[in-house]
A and B are shown apart, each in its own frame.
Chain A
Amino acid sequence: GESVGLHLPTLSVQEGDNSIINCAYSNSASDYFIWYKQESGKGPQFIIDIRSNMDKRQGQRVTVLLNKTVKHLSLQIAATQPGDSAVYFCAENTGGFKTIFGAGTRLFVKA
């Protein structure tokens, strides 16, 4: 399940299940969205991106969905593996120089 509190929101899933990580973005002018994965002790790593003229994009085991009407972005991970355990960030860009990162969600995969 998903929990929000004083700490980083955490999503706990069983190995092999699908994971859905959600993100609400703030700027309706944003036209480029990115998901990053940050493993413990490492820097964020690019996973997948999507432009505002699309509502879905698929990668290897990952799918990003974009709903501009409600300013919502989601990352779906199929057949979640222990190696997927990390903090996931959504980020938005308005086409300018600055990319704004969301607060992050910790994904915990139970073996």
Chain B
Amino acid sequence: DTAVSQTPKYLVTQMGNDKSIKCEQNLGHDTMYWYKQDSKKFLKIMFSYNNKELIINETVPNRFSPKSPDKAHLNLHINSLELGDSAVYFCASSQGPGPQSGEQFFGPGTRLTVL
């Protein structure tokens, strides 16, 4: 069974479009995250939710909107896609915030290419 899953794995779209990436975890974790990894492999946190509540919102353009319908799911919707949004997006989960948040379980990533 996959612990953290994301769909789609690849997403190719035109500038200006709106797209969503879905994430689900079956680990029973309370905390979920979205990260963006650029071409230099730099991994930057975007958002974190704990029990469906937003707890981290880094300086991300408001075109990015996370939604957590329940604590097992954290989806990422992106409006008006731009070339600079091209990256690999990782979803992750952990048992909880605080020191427990150190050990995170990552999904396989979604490679987004904006043309």
Query: Measuring CB to CB, which residues of chain A are less than 8 angstroms from any residue of chain B?
Result: 7-8, 31-34, 38, 41-46, 49, 51, 87, 89, 91, 93, 95-101, 103-104, 106
Who on chain B is nearest to A43 by CB? B106
What are 5 A-B residue pairs whose CB atoms fall within 8 Å in the complex? A41-B108, A46-B103, A99-B101, A101-B44, A103-B41
CA distance A46 to B48 in the complex (A): 18
Interface pair B106/A98, CB less than 8 Å apart: no
Chain B interface size band reads 20 to 34
Interface pair A103/B42, CB less than 8 Å apart: yes
Interface pair A99/B106, CB less than 8 Å apart: no
Contacting residue for A99 out of B42, B50, B104, B108, CB 8 A: B104
Since A101-B44, A103-B41 are in contact, a sample of 6 more A-B pairs with Cβ atoms closer than 8 Å, ordered by chain A residue number, is: A31-B99, A42-B108, A43-B4, A43-B109, A97-B50, A101-B43
